[in-house]
Amino acid sequence: MMKSAVKNIGYYQWLLVVFLLLCGQASAQNHFGVGLGNSYLQPVGSLQNWFKGTSKAPQVSFIFNRTAEAQWQFFATAAHFDQPNKEKLYYKDLQLDLKLYGAGVAYVSYLSVPRWRLQPFWKGAVTLFRWEAVRGAYQTADRLVPQRFQQAWSFAAYGGLGMAFHVTRFLKFNVSGGYQLVVAELWPALALHLENVSGLQIMRFEMEFQWMF
């Protein structure tokens, strides 16, 4: 029994050595990483009748390089639209606020090998958002329009193009831009001349640092 136990310990030691070697090889090839970035979001379509653009859109991601040409990202993100578009609103001082919190997965495909440290790519992503929208109460000439609060879960799809700058072997700086559609609806308020928003359409302009290890 003692010999069997010693043999089992030796077996697990070999497994541990193989595991550490595999992890070291993956690390040497920069298969894993983390990313930290921020985006400028510009509403388009009917959403731009409610809000101006915002830069309150941070994102953190966990990265897995499947191959040298492809990358998976698992990310958490948020966005806050708090600047009503007074040029479009009938009542200029109407309070509007929209917050989104989400997590998702993105696939990045590099279009060529790095040249002069630059590498173009395209990116597609799917996100599940929890969002909250507030339209403040407002007193018109003949009535008080009460506050309205909405919240829901919604999926979003994104597609865009970008460029990666390889600062060092372990550090990249990415810039990209693309179109995002959140499958959600903001309800209208006819008394306030506020039309509904069916589908939140957003142009995203992203900047991100990635640390690979």
- 3-class SS string, the chain: CHHHHHHHHHHHHHHHHHHHHHHHHHHHCCCEEEEEEEEEEEEEHHHHHCECCECCCEEEEEEECCCCCEEEEEEEEEEEECCECCCCCCCCCCCEEEEEEEEEEEEEEECCCCECCEEEEEEEEEEEEEEEEEECCEECCCCEECCEEEEEEEEEEEEEEEEEEECCCCEEEEEEEEEEEEEEEECCEHHHCECCEEEEEEEEEEEEEEEEC
The predicted structure's pLDDT at residue 117: 87
The predicted structure's pLDDT at residue 212: 86
64 DSSP β-pair partners: 32, 72
Q: CB–CB of 132/81 below 8 Å? A: no
Q: How far apart are CA 123 and CA 102, in angstroms?
A: 18
The predicted structure's pLDDT at residue 69: 81
- Six-digit token string for 91: 């009542």
The predicted structure's pLDDT at residue 10: 52
Sequential pLDDT tens for the chain (213 residues)? 444 433 444 544 554 444 444 444 444 455 889 999 999 999 999 999 999 999 999 999 999 886 668 899 999 999 999 999 999 999 999 999 999 999 999 999 998 777 788 999 999 999 999 999 999 999 988 889 999 999 999 999 999 999 999 999 889 999 999 999 999 999 999 889 999 999 999 999 999 999 988
